[in-house]
Amino acid sequence: MPALQIDDATDALLVVDVQNDFCPNGALAVPRGDEVVPVVNHLAERFGHVLLTQDWHPPGHRSFASSHPGKRPFETAELAYGTQVLWPDHCVKGTLGAELHRDLAMDKAELIIRKGFRPEIDSYSAFFENDRKTPTGLSGYLRTRGFKRLFLAGLATDFCVHYSAVDGAALGFTIVVIEDGCRAIDLAGSLGAAKAAMAGAGVRLTTAAAFDP
């Protein structure tokens, strides 16, 4: 089977939230989350354009269970924009946990989109906050640069990768998720639901091997 061809004029790799707190021993560790690092680095060698996202929460963020007396991590709360999963405190801006993984190759990164920095709104998607209407600015950047196809890898498949993929497709971009470059939390069946949602949105799934001759 021929290798998947990358067009440097219109294609970009988007690396989602490969941060210490989402890796083993982190505050919100995704199982085997650090395994995506060598895959992402391998992919970055093949792309002419690499973009990153970074969860960047202020202390006391409303998505933290610690901000809701009597609530525990992974329970839910009703916030102004709807039902929110409550997380352990994680990716607090300026902390070691919020830093990108030290082994992540970042020398080709042209943009880092920080999200979740508004105290009252969480942000899974690289395109919108969780109120589903506050943009991050990524869409405008992609259109200005002329990017049409976006390849996603990172953490976690069923949350930030999933929401980014579905939103990107809804905005008219061609979205491809590189499955072995992602890992999932799989909270109460969230991985299966995420895959179904991505398929329904027209998101293509592939593997890193598809880029190799």
Q: Looking at the annotation, which residues are catalytic?
A: 17, 115, 160
Where are the strands (E) in 56-167, listed by range? 76-79, 82-85, 109-115, 149-155
Give the position of tokens 């995704």: 30
Separation of CA 63 from chain center: 16
If DSSP codes are grouped into helix, strand and coil, which group holds residue 76?
A: strand
82-85 and 76-79 beta bridge pairing? antiparallel
Closest C-alpha to 208, from 48, 40, 12: 40
Cβ partners under 8 Å of residue 76, min gap 6: 83, 84, 85, 86
Sign, Cα dihedral of 12, 144, 100, 107:
positive
Are 168 and 199 a contacting pair, CB within 8 Å?
A: no
Query: CA 205, CA 155: separation in Å to the nearest integer?
Result: 15
Closest C-alpha to 56, from 129, 7, 106, 105: 129
Query: CA 53, CA 67: separation in Å to the nearest integer?
Result: 24
